[in-house]
Amino acid sequence: MKALLPVFCRPMGYTILVFSIVLPFILYFLGKINDGNLLFYKECLKLLMMIGSLMILFAGHKYESKDTEEIRSNACRYAMFITVFFVFGNMLFKVSTGDIITVDNSSFLTFLIINILCLEFGIKKSKIDNVFKK
């Protein structure tokens, strides 16, 4: 899978992810989050995390090559496989505890985060493999 975004989108995506993790605590301490707007902030932050994850996933790498494209494709494949097991395990847990009311709608965000972890692991593994091959 070829990179769709320029290289500078990768650190910007990580910045957006960190910002979306820290922002709820800041808003809570400022008294901006209450019961009336909690769902709004939750969904907005989830959207920010998705945007940041997609920027990381589709951004080019500094040393982009055919190997990087293959790693990106493999990361997507592995992330789909792991996410299906994660969502299935979560569903089994909900059934075993008798919680039929709670519905998890963040499986796409889970997929994106697992995809980024697989991508980063693959890139680092490729670097180490190249060092030992020389």
pLDDT in tens, 42-96: 888 988 998 988 888 888 877 777 788 888 888 888 888 888 888 888 878 877 8
Which residue do the tokens 């979560």 mark? 90
User: Could you tell me the CA-to-CA distances from 110 to 4, 9, 31, 34, 126 in Å, in that order?
Assistant: 21, 20, 29, 26, 24
pLDDT of 81: 83
Q: What global pTM score does this model have?
A: 0.73
